[in-house]
Amino acid sequence: MIEFFEVYKLGILEIIEGIPLRLRIYECANCAGLPNIGKKICCFEAGFFAGVLKNILDKDVRVVEVKCYASGDDCCEFEVRILDK
């Protein structure tokens, strides 16, 4: 995923291992440079991560944006949780 983000200029992706897993995007193509509008707006990225991770892990996952440039944060950050069935 890191290479995909680099090749398609979607931002600089950083994977922070732990429970929960966190994914950070610096210079997010969707919202970097926008003024602080007080909202998290990166639903495309959250859906992208959820789809990719579901296919890799063969498990349902939930991805929630917890930080966003559009909310005044210094990066966009997503929390990933594996869902139990």
For the cut 80, the answer to whether the pLDDT of residue 2 exceeds it is yes
Q: What is the pLDDT of residues 11-55, one digit of tens each?
A: 999 999 999 999 999 999 999 999 999 999 999 999 999 999 999
For the cut 90, the answer to whether the pLDDT of residue 84 exceeds it is no
For the cut 80, the answer to whether the pLDDT of residue 85 exceeds it is no
Full DSSP string of 3-56? HHHHHTT--EEEEE-SSSEEEEEES-TTTTT----SS---HHHHHHHHHHHHHH
Q: Taking the model in full, what pTM does it have?
A: 0.94
Question: Using 50, 70 and 90 to split pLDDT, how confident is the model at 78?
Answer: very high
Question: Domain 2-82 is classified in which CATH homologous superfamily?
Answer: Trafficking protein particle complex subunit 3 (3.30.1380.20)
